[in-house]
């Protein structure tokens, strides 16, 4: 099938690459000429495991193209995915300007039947706005061309994006047009063939499902983070509690990890947008409002632990920080808890020596020139001259470090671990003072 993907960021690029891998003829469009230039040169603008290989083989096979040429891109695909950003507006609601601009581009240049597919995360009612925008542009040209609008939210996780897209738990398709549903079924058949996981529903329910999923996952995390605070006080270990409850299939094992707070480009903004959408409808989402507040508090928990150990005034102290990205296997710094932690430590007078295996470049861009923050070449270098080691992101290479070296290099053998990577018993036996999240036992 001929497919156009508008917006070649995390979602657009992965969607385009994976669809081309199944034999579709895909054009990825972006307004960012730098991004398209890199892609045309065979370079991937983001860090995403496995993506480079999928892109390379499909570009070589002539099935995957990158362009900034809007008319040509729109004319190419019968299926037009919109995968542009939907950042939060000042009031927390999703800013739809990029989605509507993409819809207008389609209306301005289409000459035959199109299925316009909202893949971006968008609030209920957006499909109708997209439909109106396309129709308006067609009318302005005096054209009458048939088209359908479909909602097809994306559930991939960064760091596992290719795997998630290739083997989806489900594919949600919201539509009110039979022909469009048939095309979507055919497009996704190779991804869902052995497992009937394509769920067709009305547009509003599909749009709502995406927010409901992210809100539910964020709720689990905030809930566990709050339980962790209490576990510390009452002498329980949240890691044992997590296993104790996760083994109940009604609860399940995933997304129960207490940590340094959730970040990324989606949970924070989608929770805000859903709370806002509810307000606009006269409803206060009390649980979700608390989820967000708990997360704001959680992002400061590591600093609270530093203050408890080293005092309010951190002048003259230096802290080693391992992990800057909002999660492992990505270079994405959007809403990363490390931002709050670094800024708070520096505000209290400390210096920070930070290392991330992949996100150093993005981190430099995101922090700018922040006095007191130094980026170091490797994880060992961060330890030199530091009073304690703080672990913020659970990269694999941090899981079994050289503990003797850590102990010998730090000014004081203190590890404050925001991801509960180590065994407290082992740390005690090594003579390392170890503070985790929710580990009161
Ligand atoms: P992103 O910022 O990485 O990419 C968006 C791209 O769209 C940018 O490259 C931008 O230049 C381009 N763009 C903006 N306006 C355009 C236009 N009019 N025409 C062509 N290109 C245009 O964003 P992302 O992380 O891929 O997220 C996109 C959407 O998908 C959001 O709604 C997000 O909530 C949702 N989503 C993201 C993820 C994720 O893991 N990142 C997962 C699921 C859903
Ligand atoms: C999340 C969802 O998992 C995806 O299904 C969804 O498509 C995506 O948002 C989106 O809409 O963009 P992502 O943000 O890439 O994916 O990463 P997650 O693995 O969900 O992690 C989000 C944050 O939660 C990270 O900061 C992570 O450290 C934190 N987290 C996750 C925890 O603190 N505990 C956990 O148990 C799981």
Q: Same structural domain for residues 251 and 195?
A: no
Q: How far out from the chain centre does Cα 391 lie? A: 20
Point out the domain boundary residue: 153, 177, 201: 201
**Are both 156 and 88 inside the same structural domain?**
yes
Domain-embedded: residue 224: no
- Mean local confidence (pLDDT), 26-48: 97
- Residue nearest (by alpha carbon) to ligand 1 atom 38: 11
**pLDDT in the model for residue 281:** 96
Give tens-digit pLDDT for 95-133: 999 999 999 999 999 999 999 999 999 999 999 999 999
Ligand 2 centroid from CA 348, angstroms: 29
Which run of H or E residues covers position 337?
A: helix 337-347
**Is 345 a domain residue?**
yes
Residue-level pLDDT at 441 = 77
Does residue 8 fall inside a structural domain? yes
Annotated catalytic residue: which of 127, 266, 358, 415?
A: 266
What is the per-residue pLDDT for 193? 73
How many residues in total does the chain contain?
441
Report CA Rg, the chain.
Answer: 24
The C-alpha atoms of residue 171 and residue 433 are separated, in whole angstroms, by: 47
> Could you tell me the CATH number of the domain that includes residue 172?
3.40.50.720
Q: How confident is the model at residue 151 (pLDDT cuts 50, 70, 90)?
A: very high
Give the tens place of pLDDT for each residue, 193-229: 777 799 999 999 999 999 999 999 999 999 999 999 9
Q: Report the pLDDT averaged over residues 408-422.
A: 98
What confidence score (pLDDT) does residue 336 get? 97
> Which of 87, 105, 83, 106 lies closest to 96 in space, CA to CA?
87
Q: Each residue of 198-207: pLDDT tens digit?
A: 999 999 999 9
- Decide if 227 is inside a domain: no
Which atom of ligand 1 is closest in space to residue 29's alpha carbon?
20
Domain shared by 254 and 400, yes or no: yes
Task: State residue 325's pLDDT score.
Answer: 97
The atom number, within ligand 1, closest to the CA of 270 reads 34
pLDDT above 80 (res 6): yes
Residues 6+ positions from 3 with CB-CB distance below 8 Å: 16, 19, 20, 24, 25, 26, 27, 77, 78, 79, 81, 187
The residue whose CA is least distant from atom 16 of ligand 2 is 157
Taking residues 373-391, report their average pLDDT.
Answer: 98
Q: What is the pLDDT of residue 269?
A: 96
Taking residues 284-307, report their average pLDDT.
Answer: 98
**CA-wise closest residue to 175 among 191, 199, 143, 210:** 199
> Residue whose CA is closest, atom 7 of ligand 2?
155
Q: What is the pLDDT of residue 212?
A: 98
For residue 424, the model assigns a pLDDT of 96
* Domain of residue 314, residue span: 237-441
User: Which band of pLDDT confidence, cut at 50, 70 and 90, is reported for residue 171?
Assistant: very high
* Residue among 83, 212, 267 whose CB has most ligand 1 atoms within 8 A, to mutate: 83
Domain boundary among 201, 219, 254: 201
CB of residue 98 inside a 6 A radius of ligand 1: yes
Same domain, 157 and 247: no
Q: Which pLDDT score is estimated for 18?
A: 98
Number of domains in the chain: 2
In a domain, residue 170? The reply is yes
Mean pLDDT of the region 270-291: 97
The alpha carbon of residue 119 and the mean position of all alpha carbons in its chain are separated, in whole angstroms, by 15
Query: In the annotation, is 266 catalytic?
Result: yes
Give the pLDDT confidence of 327-342 residue by residue, as tens digits. 999 999 999 999 999 9
Q: Does 231 fall in a domain?
A: no
Helices 203-234 & 286-298 angle (0-180, nearest 10): 50
Query: CA-to-CA distance for 28 and 391, rounded, in angstroms?
Result: 37
CA-nearest residue for atom 2, ligand 2, is 157
Q: Is residue 206 part of a domain?
A: no
Cα–Cα separations (whole angstroms), residue 418 to 242, 432, 437: 16, 16, 6
pLDDT at 430: 98
Pairing of strands 25-29, 373-375: unpaired
The CA-atom distances, in angstroms, between 72 and each of 27, 29, 109, 111, 188 are 9, 10, 8, 11, 24
Neighbour order of strands in the sheet with 388-391: 373-375, 351-355, 318-322, 388-391, 414-417, 433-435
**In this predicted model, what pLDDT tens digit does every residue of 310-366 receive, in sequence order?**
999 999 999 999 999 999 999 999 999 999 999 999 999 999 999 999 999 999 999
For residue 168, give both structure tokens.
């989806």
Q: Three-state SS string across 10-50, please?
A: HHHHHHHHHHHHCCCEEEEECCCHHHHHHHHCCCCCCCCCC
Q: Which helix (H) or strand (E) holds 388?
A: strand 388-391
Rounded Cα distance between 218 and 281, Å, is 22
Q: For 235-253, write each residue's pLDDT tens digit.
A: 999 999 999 999 999 999 9
Cβ contacts of 165 within 8 Å, gap of 6 or more: 14, 15, 18, 154, 156, 191
pLDDT at 362: 96
> Chain centroid to CA 385: how far?
33
pLDDT 10s digits, 66-85: 999 999 999 999 999 999 99
Beta bridge partners of 26: 3, 64
Mean pLDDT of the 158-185 span: 97
Is the pTM value of this prediction over 0.90? Answer: yes
pLDDT at 185 over 90: yes
Pair 257, 401 in one domain: yes
Binding-site residue positions for NAD(+): 30, 35, 86, 121, 158, 269, 334
Residue 266 in any domain: the answer is yes
Closest atom of ligand 2 to 218 CA is 24
Average pLDDT, the chain: 97
Give the list of residues 6+ apart from residue 269 with CB closer than 8 angstroms, or none.
86, 87, 88, 94, 335
Cα 160 to Cα 114: distance, rounded to the nearest angstrom: 30
Residues 302 and 183 in one domain: no
Residues linked to residue 319 through DSSP beta bridges, in sequence order: 352, 388
Q: How far apart are CA 354 and CA 368, in angstroms?
A: 14
Query: Same structural domain for residues 374 and 241?
Result: yes
Q: Best substitution site from 153, 264, 299 to test ligand 2's pocket, by max atoms within 8 Å of Cβ?
A: 264
The answer on 270 and 189 residing in a single domain is no
Q: What pLDDT does residue 23 have? A: 98
Residues 438, 313 share a domain: yes
> Are residues 183 and 286 located together in one domain of the fold?
no
In this structure, the answer to whether residues 151 and 261 fall within a common structural domain is no
Contacts 24+ apart (CB under 8 A), 286-292: 287/219, 288/215, 288/218, 288/219, 290/222, 291/215, 291/218, 291/219, 291/222, 291/223, 292/218, 292/222, 292/268
């Amino acid at each position: 099938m001929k497919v156009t993907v508008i917006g070649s960021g995390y979602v657009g690029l992965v969607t385009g690459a994976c669809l081309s891998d199944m034999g579709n003829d895909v054009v990825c469009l972006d307004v960012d000429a730098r991004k398209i230039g890199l892609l045309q040169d065979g370079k991937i603008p983001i860090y995403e495991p496995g993506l480079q290989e999928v892109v390379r083989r499909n570009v070589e096979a002539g099935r995957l193209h990158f362009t900034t040429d809007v008319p040509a891109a729109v004319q190419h695909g019968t299926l037009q995915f919109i995968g542009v950003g939907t950042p939060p507006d000042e009031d927390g609601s999703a800013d739809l300007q990029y989605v509507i601009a993409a819809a207008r581009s389609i209306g301005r240049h289409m000459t035959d039947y199109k299925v316009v597919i909202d893949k971006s995360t968008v609030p209920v009612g957006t499909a109708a706005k997209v439909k109106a925008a396309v129709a308006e542009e067609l009318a302005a040209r005096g054209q009458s061309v048939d088209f359908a609008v479909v909602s097809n939210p994306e559930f991939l996780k960064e760091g596992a994006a290719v795997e998630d897209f290739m083997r989806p738990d489900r594919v949600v398709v919201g539509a009110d047009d039979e022909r469009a549903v048939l095309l979507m079924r055919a497009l996704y058949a190779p991804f869902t063939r052995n497992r009937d996981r394509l769920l067709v529903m009305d547009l509003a329910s599909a749009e709502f499902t995406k927010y409901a999923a992210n809100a539910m996952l964020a709720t689990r995390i905030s809930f566990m983070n709050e339980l962790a605070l209490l576990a510390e006080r009452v002498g329980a270990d949240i890691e044992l509690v997590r296993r104790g409850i996760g083994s109940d299939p009604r609860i399940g094992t995933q997304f129960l990890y207490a940590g340094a707070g959730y970040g990324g480009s989606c949970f924070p903004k989608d929770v805000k947008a859903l709370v806002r959408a509810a307000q606009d409808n006269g409803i206060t989402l009390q649980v979700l409002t608390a989820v967000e507040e708990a997360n704001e508090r959680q992002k400061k928990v590591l600093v609270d632990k530093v203050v408890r150990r080293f005092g309010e005034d951190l002048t003259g102290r230096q802290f080693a920080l391992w992990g800057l990205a909002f999660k492992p296997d990505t270079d994405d710094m959007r809403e990363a808890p490390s931002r709050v932690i670094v800024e708070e430590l520096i505000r209290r007078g400390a210096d920070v020596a930070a290392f991330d295996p992949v996100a150093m470049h993005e981190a430099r861009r995101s922090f700018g020139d922040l006095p007191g923050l130094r980026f170091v070449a490797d994880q060992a270098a961060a330890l030199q001259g530091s009073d304690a080691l703080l672990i913020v992101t659970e990269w694999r290479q941090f899981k079994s470090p050289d503990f003797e070296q850590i102990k010998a290099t730090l000014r004081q053998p203190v590890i404050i671990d925001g991801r509960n990577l180590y065994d407290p018993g082992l740390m005690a036996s090594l003579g390392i003072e170890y503070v985790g999240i929710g580990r009161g036992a």
